[in-house]
Every structure is written in C-alpha cells, then in structure tokens.
C-alpha cells in the first residue's frame, strides 16, 4: 500500500436507540462524511469546514466525491459512482428529498447542508449522547502489507463493518473547467475506496 494512503475501519449500526448520556466516554469518535464535488461552487467552503471539524478529538472526517457534477464541464478526480450511490442510500434512509452538495452526514443518522454549521454541531452532540461505549475496533500489521482487524463489544443492534481507504490531510486540485474553473480547490481526507468487511452482531470477530 502506498505511503500516502491511510485506512480507517469503522462500525455502522443498523439502527439507533434513544439518546442517553453514556456512563463512560464513547469508544469511538463520531463519523462525519462530506459529499462534495470539485464542480460544486459551494463545496470549497464545506471542505475547509470538514478539516476544521477533524481537529476535534471526537470526530473522524472523510470526504466523498460524487460524480453527478461531472456533466457541467469538469470531471472530479476523486469522484466515484459508488460514493454517489452511498449518498443516495442516505437520501432514502434519512428521508431527504434529493441528493445535493455539499452535504454532511453525521454518523449515518443525521444530515445537514454544508453551510448549516449549527445543525452539524447539534447533530454531533446528539450522536455522542446516543452512542454506545462498548464497541472497539483494533488493527495490527502482520507483514507484507497485510493487517488483522478485530472488532469486539456489544452493539445495540446488528452492524456493518467498513474499511475506508483515503488520502490523509489536505490535497490541492487545480480545477480546469466548470463552476470552479481556475480554482485551486482544497480537499480534506478524500476517500479512494470504501470496502464492506461484513456484518457483525457483537462479540469478538
């Protein structure tokens, strides 16, 4: 695996229980996904805010490039149809009328427009209060580029385990056409691949 690629494993709960204050701090940060496009005029500011959110200890921030802006003159260098489909899945799950950018999805349970920072922060707080503390994910290098992933604990419901492969930190893309033509656009933690590792209902796996 190339040195500029990092991997992240996270557990997505299929459903959530009522919000409550956990007895101990949550075992994992809240996942914040930004659906973005290099052709979207509102997305540069949202990408900057994604990086700002990732400065918090309780957040994991990832950027997903969607491809439906490509028809307007610029082919997004990070966009993938699978990421657009992921956003459409959230549209149905969260009862959003349409897909759009920039869209923040907080832990798969809430969404907000890129400029709605108060709504994003409120959703982060609600997710921290609702999260279970007993889920743990660890990885260990085993040589030759291989890793062992262990998941343990007791989720409140059946869950899915995902592996995200992304380029960590800030990356600059010189946009040559479309709505952002001429802009050196800053992207944060852009995802390159999203791999389902399987279902998990609790215990060691």
Kindly report, residue by residue over 70-93, the tens digit of the pLDDT: 999 999 999 999 999 999 999 999
- Examine the pLDDT at 17 and tell me if it is beyond 80: no
Cα torsion through 137, 142, 147, 152, rounded to 10: -20
Number of H helices, E strands in the chain: 3, 11
Domain 6-200 CATH assignment equals 3.40.350.10: no
Bridge partners (DSSP) listed for residue 110: 106
- Is residue 103 helix, strand or coil? strand
Cα Rg, the chain, nearest whole Å: 17
Please give the helix or strand (H or E) that residue 201 lies within, else none.
Answer: none
pLDDT digits (tens, 9 = 90+) for 152-179: 666 555 667 778 889 999 999 999 999 9
- Give strand pairing partners of 170: 188
């Amino acid at each position: 695996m190339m040195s500029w690629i990092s991997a992240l494993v996270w557990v997505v709960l299929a459903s959530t229980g009522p919000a409550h204050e956990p007895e101990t701090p949550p075992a994992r940060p809240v996942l914040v996904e930004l659906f973005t496009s290099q052709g979207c005029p509102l997305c540069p500011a949202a990408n900057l805010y994604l990086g700002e959110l990732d400065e918090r200890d309780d957040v994991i921030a990832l950027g997903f490039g969607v491809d439906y802006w490509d028809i307007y003159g610029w082919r997004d260098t990070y966009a993938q149809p699978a990421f657009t489909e992921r956003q459409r899945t959230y549209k149905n799950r969260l009862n959003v009328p349409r897909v759009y950018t920039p869209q923040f999805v907080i832990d798969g349970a809430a969404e907000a427009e890129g400029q709605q920072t108060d709504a994003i922060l409120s959703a982060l707080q609600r997710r921290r209060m609702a999260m279970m503390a007993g889920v743990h994910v660890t990885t260990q290098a085993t040589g030759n580029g291989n890793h062992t992933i262990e998941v343990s604990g007791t989720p409140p419901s059946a869950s899915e385990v995902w592996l995200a492969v992304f380029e960590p930190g800030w990356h600059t893309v010189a946009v040559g056409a479309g709505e952002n033509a001429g802009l050196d656009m800053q992207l944060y933690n852009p995802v390159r691949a999203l791999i389902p590792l399987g279902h998990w209902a609790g215990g060691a796996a």
